Amino acid sequence: MINFAIVGIGHISKKHIEAIQAIPEASLLAICDTNPARLEEFSGICKTYTDLKEMLETLPELDVVNICVPSGAHASLTTLCAQYKKHIIVEKPMALKLEDCEKMIQSAKENGVKLAVVHPNRFRPAIVMLQKQIEEGKFGTLSHANATVRWNRNQAYYDQAPWRGTKEFDGGVLMNQAIHDIDLMLWLMGPVESVQAMATTRLRKIEAEDVAAAVLQFKNGALGIIEAATTIYPKNLEESLAIFGEKASVKISGRTANYIETWDIEGQTDEDRIKVVKEVELDPFGKPGHQWIIEDMVDAIKNNHEPVVSGNDGLAPVKLILAILESAETGKKILL
């Protein structure tokens, strides 16, 4: 049995709890939050703590800490857990600064622990099918990719907590919402060579950006376009990822990118296409991505392998987003 603890009780922590409880080889040992009131509902489920250091010192049997606090605090908590020889699963984005990401990776390496970053969209059934086609070379030479996030996060969303929308602890639409699709784009298309971008805070009363657009050139020569906004009226409109190559065009879309809108691949018949589309429609969400991540951590510990979404995987989209923001601020093309 692999014992888990969760740090930070909020919306996303519930997904971690549900995932741990669904895995036979995982056990929820403890929950930590600085607000005692948030811990009351868990008093009968597991041990509760208001101090992370106390939890780490009093639970030698603890194996993994899942970090679900505001993004700006990820680095300090990760390095502390690593010093106590605990494996770590950290929510996206892994940090808001490049040096913090690097510090987290280095700390995990120095202390011999595993570091996984939560990018659950990689495990959506449609995305899994798309990745397989690219990996098998069905696209031929990649031409370009497009990631679109047209969502609504109204002012009430940002007013829920004083850290929301801040550059120090939260970030804007790129770090918070579009990072999922940016991760997918990098995973499927490869590393980026350069970026030119614009970003602005157009409608929301926040410090970070609520609208951004970027043009990328990948190291393989392909191009990419990112459009992201939390200003869409009156509700979420679209999340989509499209990949184009000399032999294939695929677009995964919907209000969340779970459904196949276009699936045209050389050599595949109409019957093949219809079969793939219907298979996804029957189960568009699949097993929860958080469960995939946590199950993989259990296996990584038992069989001593790198997590499927490692610290280096988590660093890549943060690095690109920071380059996008630098380009938007300076008006210059940024080389990565």
Q: Determine what percent of the chain is predicted with pLDDT higher than 90.
A: 99
CB 46 within 8 A of CB 20: no
- Looking at every residue in the chain, the average pLDDT score rounds to 97
Q: Where in the chain do CATH 3.30.360.10 domains reside?
A: 122-287+318-335
Mean pLDDT, rounded, for 269-284: 96
pLDDT tens-digit series, residues 300-321: 999 999 999 999 999 999 999 9
Structure tokens that stand for 68 in this block: 């679900």
DSSP string, 195-221: EEEEEE--SS-SSS-SEEEEEEEETTS
Q: Does domain 122-287+318-335 have CATH number 3.30.360.10?
A: yes
Write down the pTM of the prediction: 0.96
Q: Return the closest-CA partner of residue 319 out of 199, 191, 204.
A: 191
Residue 147 has pLDDT above 90, yes or no: yes
Mean pLDDT, rounded, for 280-291: 97
Pairing verdict, β 115-117 and 142-150: unpaired
Q: Determine what percent of the chain is predicted with pLDDT higher than 70.
A: 100
Residues 6+ apart with CB under 8 A from 246: 139, 140, 141, 143
End-to-end Cα separation, the chain, in angstroms? 42
pLDDT tens-digit series, residues 205-232: 999 999 999 999 999 999 999 999 999 9
CB 297 within 8 A of CB 27: no
Q: DSSP code of 296?
A: H
Using alpha carbons only, give the angle 233, 238, 242 rounded to the nearest 5 degrees.
Answer: 150
Q: Where in the chain do CATH 3.40.50.720 domains reside?
A: 2-120+290-308
Predicted local distance difference test score (pLDDT) of residue 301? 98
Predicted local distance difference test score (pLDDT) of residue 262? 98
Query: How far from 216 is each of 120, 197, 334, CA to CA, in Å?
Result: 23, 9, 10
Mean pLDDT, rounded, for 167-181: 97
Dump strand ranges (E) for 230-325.
Answer: 238-245, 248-253, 259-265
Q: Is the peptide bond before 234 cis (omega within 30 degrees of 0)?
A: yes
Alpha-carbon distance of 296 to 23, in angstroms, equals 11
Predicted local distance difference test score (pLDDT) of residue 44? 87
Length of the chain: 336
Residues 6+ apart with CB under 8 A from 189: 142, 145, 218, 220, 222, 224, 243
Alpha-carbon distance of 151 to 326, in angstroms, equals 23
Please report, to the nearest 10 degrees, the dihedral formed by the alpha carbons of residues 287, 316, 81, 61 taken in order.
30
Mean pLDDT, rounded, for 276-291: 97
Helix (H) or strand (E) holding 316: helix 311-330
> How many other C-beta atoms lie within 10 A of the C-beta of residue 288?
15
Predicted local distance difference test score (pLDDT) of residue 37? 94
The CATH code that applies to domain 2-120+290-308 is 3.40.50.720
Alpha-carbon distance of 132 to 189, in angstroms, equals 13
Mean pLDDT, rounded, for 253-277: 97
CB 96 within 8 A of CB 75: no
pLDDT tens-digit series, residues 25-82: 999 999 999 999 999 999 889 999 999 999 999 999 999 999 999 999 999 999 999 9
Alpha-carbon distance of 194 to 260, in angstroms, equals 29
CB 311 within 8 A of CB 106: no
Predicted local distance difference test score (pLDDT) of residue 43? 87
CB 164 within 8 A of CB 298: no
